[in-house]
Amino acid sequence: MNHDARASKLPLAGLRVLELGQLIAGPFCARVLADFGASVLKVEAPDGGDPLRNWRVLKDGNSIWWESQSRNKRSIAIDLRQSEGQALVRELVRDCDVLIENFRPGQLEQWGLSYERLSEDHPGLIMLRISGYGQTGPYKDRPGFGVIGEAMGGLRYLSGEPGQIPVRVGVSIGDSLAALHGVIGIMMALREREVRGGKGQVIDVALYESVFNMMESLIPEFSVTGLVREPSGSALPGIAPTNAYRCNNGLVLIAGNGDGIFKRLMTAIGREDLAHDRALQDNAGRVAQVTRLDEAIASWTAERSVESVLAQLHDASVPAGRIYNAQDIAKDPHYQARDMLIPSTAREAYALTQPGIVPKLSETPGLLRHPAPRLGEHTRQALAEAGLSEERIAELVALGTIRQS
């Protein structure tokens, strides 16, 4: 099947999305939809566009991050501060299934783009709203980036070593978790619209709630026992043994916390005495002696290389792995075999490797259809598709309401 035929068969082909977001949470959500065939029209400010265009490492004037975050999208440059720009968005929304935004609550209302107003002309519209604290509650008007959501959601407190200042994950995990919750919400709202009469709805995603949703038994345990879970470094409290262990040339992660796995691990490291110790036959017993177990494993790994440790543990069917950096990922044959490293070319004609598309669908997998757009690259095309005449488009360009690349 050729490229165009594959694109027409993608699971979200025909879904029309208008993206008003910027930076990470809203745009990442839209990227996931675009990877699976949705037609995403990204609205950017004419004076510079999405700030992500200038974040982190630049190449030929554009952020390399931008190239993956905005792949498979089109760009239209509209000044939302102008009434003419707001009117344009209202026209564009009429032809869309989904509107994605991640401004502070109340901003769309100030622009005359509230859900109530937009849904008057388009009752089937689904609006995803991503914000720091949600659209309601006493904190709703506070500015909130992903890092603040990670802190309020409980994740930051647990990260790092006991007694030290908590550390952040080296990526914007709070924003990305919110984006993925947004994707889930959109899929559920589309299904609801399909089976129950065609009416749309608002999806309210808060950054802190998206992080909090990942916190497993944190609150249930506190509610029953009063336990406040504390940071534990590379270990996982209450589950043993699982930790990072130092070899003579690096670190390995070993997860020997299943009952059968534990026995295989202890046998592999020459500790049959621990493998058959009755007190260690279940997780509760191992947690009670976790220091003893970590010391036994660490003394074994310390005398061996990472490669030797991994070979022996893989042979014993014990989950273990090295800690990858970017170079490790780029060279790994498993990443390559599963199409997780996609060769591509940016608009500026330089080669780059894109992250692969997940999840993997057997019949209609996602597809890299086209590279990230230049600012306003599709302005004229998108407005013509919305029914604006060439004369009207020229007037808006003269007013500075829109920009064409």
Domain end position, chosen among 302, 327, 352: 327
Looking at the structure of the chain, the number of domains it has is 2
Residue 279: Cβ within 10 Å count? 11
Whether residues 145 and 288 share a domain: the answer is no
Tokens coding 44: 């950017």
Whether residues 35 and 125 share a domain: the answer is yes
Whether residues 367 and 276 share a domain: the answer is no
Residues taking part in catalysis: 175
Question: What does the alpha-carbon distance between residue 117 and residue 89 come to, in Å, rounded to a whole number?
Answer: 12
Whether residues 167 and 249 share a domain: the answer is no
pLDDT (0 to 100) of residue 223:
97
Whether residues 55 and 122 share a domain: the answer is yes
CATH of the domain at 158: 3.40.50.10540
Whether residues 250 and 399 share a domain: the answer is no
pLDDT (0 to 100) of residue 2:
64
Residue 53 CA, chain-centre distance (Å), reads: 18
Tokens coding 189: 């709202």
Residue 314 CA, chain-centre distance (Å), reads: 30
Tokens coding 281: 């036959």
Residue 230 forms part of a structural domain: no
Residue 159 forms part of a structural domain: yes
Tokens coding 215: 């916190």
Residue 220 forms part of a structural domain: no
Residue 236 forms part of a structural domain: no
- Residues 35, 357: contact at Cβ < 8 Å? yes
pLDDT (0 to 100) of residue 6:
84
Question: What does the alpha-carbon distance between residue 355 and residue 373 come to, in Å, rounded to a whole number?
Answer: 17
Burial (CB count within 10 angstroms: exposed 0-12, middle 13-18, buried 19+), residue 398: exposed
The Cα angle at residue 40 between residues 37 and 42, in degrees rounded to 5: 155
Residue 33 forms part of a structural domain: yes
Residue 325: Cβ within 10 Å count? 8
Question: What does the alpha-carbon distance between residue 82 and residue 88 come to, in Å, rounded to a whole number?
Answer: 10
Whether residues 374 and 316 share a domain: the answer is no
Tens of pLDDT, residue by residue over 179-204, are 999 999 999 999 999 998 889 999 99
Whether residues 175 and 308 share a domain: the answer is no
Whether residues 19 and 166 share a domain: the answer is yes
Residue 99 forms part of a structural domain: yes
pLDDT (0 to 100) of residue 1:
61
Tokens coding 129: 């709203």
pLDDT (0 to 100) of residue 196:
87
Whether residues 357 and 315 share a domain: the answer is no
Rounded to two decimals, the pTM is 0.94
CATH of the domain at 276: 3.30.1540.10
pLDDT (0 to 100) of residue 347:
84
Question: What does the alpha-carbon distance between residue 210 and residue 157 come to, in Å, rounded to a whole number?
Answer: 16
Domain coverage including residue 390: 3-214+337-403
Ranges of the chain whose pLDDT falls below 70: 1-2
> In Å, how far are 240, 293, 303 from 288, measured between CA atoms?
9, 10, 26
Domain end position, chosen among 269, 297, 327: 327
Residue 237 forms part of a structural domain: no
Q: What is the CA radius of gyration of the chain?
A: 25
Whether residues 317 and 359 share a domain: the answer is no
Whether residues 280 and 168 share a domain: the answer is no
Residue 234 forms part of a structural domain: no
Domain end position, chosen among 327, 352, 372: 327
